Chains A and B, each alone.
Chain A
Amino acid sequence: MKRIDVALIGMPNVGKSTLYNQFTHKNEHTGNWSGKTVSVNSGVCNYLDTSYTFYDLPGTYSLVSKSKEEMVATDFILFSRFDVAVVVCDATNLSRSLNLVLQTKEICKNVVVCINLIDEAEKKGITIDAKLLEERLESPVVLVSAKNKVGLDCLLKAIYNSKPSNYLDIDYGVLNTFIKSIDKHIADTTYNRKWIVLKVLEQHSYYVDKFKELGIIDDILIDTDIDVSLEVALHLAKRVKEVLDGVIIIENIRDYTRRIDKVLTSKLWGIPIMLILLFICFYLTIKGANYPSSLLFSFFSWLEVPLTNILEFIHIPSTLLDLLVNGVYKTLYWVVSVMMPPMLIFFPLFSFLENLGVLPRMAFNLDRAFSKCHACGKQALTMCMGIGCNAVGVTGTRIIDSKRERILAILTNIFMPCNGKFPSLIAIITIFMVGLNQSYGAFMCSLILTLFILLGIILTFLCSYLLSKTVLKGESSYFTLELPPYRMPNIIDTIIDSFKNRAIFVLGRAIKVAILAGVLIWGIVNFTINGKPILDYLVSYLTPIGHFLGVDGVILLALILGFPANEIVLPIMLMVYLNTNTLISMDNIFILKDILVSNGWTITTALCFIFLFLYRFPCSTTLLTIYKETNSKFYTFLSVIVPLMVGIILCLFIKLFTL
């Protein structure tokens, strides 16, 4: 079978990922490429006896800037082995996309131009003369609509038939004399000489060093007061205009985007609409997750008996059996059944808003507050994702360009309470703050929960501000944010996409740590020293510290052992209080109240527990993600110490006021 390697390049928001997913459905594997943190996904598609491997490069506006995504894309095109580069363009805004096409043709000999979103262009009354464009560019041009699967086979055929040509030669006007004089200093190479010269002229240290390493250039002295990047940009823009002349025919444009935008970003409605949309997301998640969660839970606990029988049948030693069933299996299904349903509801809803184009408007509306804290408006989005799951919120910070602002967003993400904390919070709030059997109980409870989320938002701003004045010094970087046209997403794709990229990712990591935690908890409960279980020693060690913080030793131990998942903190606590050796589920809130009160809980205990529970440190899944994303032990350490300090300070504050 013939194999063709294809690099997919494109600006953000042109549907590159949709195209990639259409081709590689089910054949995707994710991998980091050459040690960069921005990853290049690859996937395979088989069509007519040919195997196409697609490399999904990060979305880039150009191949000349110094941002991380753009360097990854440029590096890939320059230094990796592949056969054809496909530049994905936006049919509704071809002139911007074409800039990238020309830049790609400067460094790649085999380019296919794929004009996506052709359906939307038609709706807007835009017609594109692909034949004429093909003649002008001397590269194949294919019109597709990835979402509706139109033109995909034509694209594959075009890739199959595409032949290498020469590098694109652009007339750079006043730069030509410099280009000529520097060209002499360049060794023979298969790279585009002119492009290398331009990098030298622009004094782009990264590529100058790269080509020095390759022995293509030596130290070259240049002396010019011309603004090289401006000249390059201007001549590229001029060439784009020449190429596009007569290619696009526009008739009676109908564009609703601007009218919707006027409302969504208005002084009066902007913020309330955003809040209502988010509230709907959270409400549906909490309401909708209850039933499937309990269903999963009863299914898995039912499975416990046959599992035990099977293990007994194959004569597993009883201690090991207890470890496997009561330790590992129980913790595992506990985490899965509490964690999975909310994520399967929240993330598709969130992805829907994202693909619709609402989320960039949210960042646009809220940017002011973040810029006051020297942070980035896009942090508002990662905070919302954090309510779904902090690990996803941390990964989501990739949308923030500036490294400093990204770390700020990562370190403060924990201040948004994740889904997993809600059930326990609601129980404690109901028992100690609202009271049982109140007529407006549910409403009061949501109100108090909302207040805690508001506190989290205030703490996020406060900590962002303090961090940016201390360890993460710096002014807010310049902020550019594209507000793409509203697009009705493909619902099924949205669900599959958020399931594959978010839910599975978090669940996978959670399962790994839940197994370890299961073993650990089981060990602490079952191993004894001098006849007393390790657990008792730990509780007595922790009791003085617990009392200092307004709680007791058991609560503290549960908070520490609940490190793998917030969902198991309350069950561990009950396990210790009730002196059993396995996690305890508590559906009856009256019994729960009796247990807690008889163990000395007061309103102070409840408040201190909530603060420690909310702000102790990220769960292990999140912590692992923070380490992977920042690649720094220091920042991972900070992400533990900052919320912990806040939690402790709040507890001491509460104790001070209630004494």
Chain B
Amino acid sequence: MSLDEIKLNDVVVILKINDVDMKRRLYDLGFLPGEKVECVLNNPFRNPRAYKINGAILALRDELAREIEVIYEED
């Protein structure tokens, strides 16, 4: 499952980030395998959405969130 598919207020754990130009930037922002992410806001058009990661709120477009593979914690 990728990050853009999760519902609002869902908490998931990052599995891996696909090979994109922005990979390094995502790492800097705290999107690391094993970290928890929560979707905290949809914008009026649902894309981009805002995620809580490592204590900060960051907005990502679905095009980028699609490259982040996640899994629900209890799985």
Complex Cα distance, B43 from A11, in Å, reads: 25
Residues of B within 8 A of A93 (CB): 54-56
Q: Which 4 A-B pairs have the closest CB atoms?
A: A233-B27, A62-B28, A368-B45, A93-B55
How many residues belonging to A are interface residues under a CB distance threshold of 8 Å?
40
Residues of B within 8 A of A (CB): 17, 20-30, 32-33, 35, 40-45, 47-48, 50, 54-61, 63-64
Known contacts being A66-B24, A229-B24, is A481 close to B58, with CB within 8 Å?
A: yes
Contact indicator per residue, chain A 49-70, by CB within 8 Å of chain B (1) or not (0): 0000000000001101111000
Report the Cα distance A131→B73, complex, angstroms: 35
* List of B residues within 8 angstroms of A371 by Cβ: 47, 61, 63
Q: Cβ of A480: which chain B residues have Cβ within 8 Å of it?
A: 22, 25-26, 29, 58-60, 64
Q: Which of A65, A265, A484 contacts B28 (CB 8 A)?
A: A65
Given A93-B55, A270-B43; A61-B28 close (CB under 8 Å): yes
Residues of A within 8 A of B (CB): 61-62, 64-67, 92-93, 95-96, 99, 229-230, 233-234, 237, 257-258, 261-262, 265-267, 270-271, 364-365, 367-368, 371, 377, 476-484
B32 touches A237 (CB 8 A): yes
CA distance A345 to B21 in the complex (A): 42
Which single member of A61, A62, A367 contacts B48 (CB below 8 Å)? A367
Contacts of A483 in B (CB 8 A): 41, 50, 57-59
Contact of B56 among A96, A230, A261, A377 (CB under 8 A): A96
Instruction: Given A96-B55, A364-B43, decide whether A234 and B33 contact each other with a Cβ distance below 8 A.
Output: yes
* Beta-carbon contact of A367 and B43 below 8 Å: yes
Number of A-B contacts (CB under 8 A): 114
B40 close to A258 (CB less than 8 A): yes
Decide: B28 and A233 in contact? CB cutoff 8 A: yes
The minimal Cβ–Cβ distance linking A361 to chain B, given in whole angstroms, is 9
Is B44 touching A95 in the complex (CB atoms < 8 A)? no
Apart from A64-B24, A481-B59: 4 A-B pairs, beta carbons within 8 A? A65-B24, A364-B48, A367-B59, A483-B58
> Is A95's CB under 8 angstroms from B55's CB?
yes
Q: Complex Cα distance A86/B22, Å?
A: 28
Q: Contacts of A477 on B, CB cut-off 8 Å?
A: 22
Query: Please, which residues of chain A bring their CB within 8 A of the CB of B56?
Result: 93, 96, 482, 484
Q: Check A265–B25 contact: CB distance below 8 A.
A: no
The residues of A that contact B20 with a CB separation of less than 8 Å are: 478
Q: Which of B23, B35, B42, B45 contacts A229 (CB under 8 A)?
A: B23
Give complex CA distance A162, B51 in Å: 38
Name the residue of chain A whose CB is nearest to the CB of B42. Answer: A265
Partner of B63, one of A92, A230, A478: A478
Give the CA-CA distance A478 to B22 in the complex, in Å. Answer: 7
Judging by beta carbons under 8 Å apart, are B61 and A479 in contact?
Answer: yes
Assembled-state Cα–Cα distance A480/B31 (Å): 12
Q: A65-B25, A93-B56, A96-B30 are in contact. Are A367 and B41 (CB under 8 A)?
A: no
**Chain B residue at minimum C-beta to C-beta distance from A267:** B44
Contact of A365 among B35, B43, B63 (CB under 8 A): B43
Residues of A within 8 A of B22 (CB): 477-478, 480
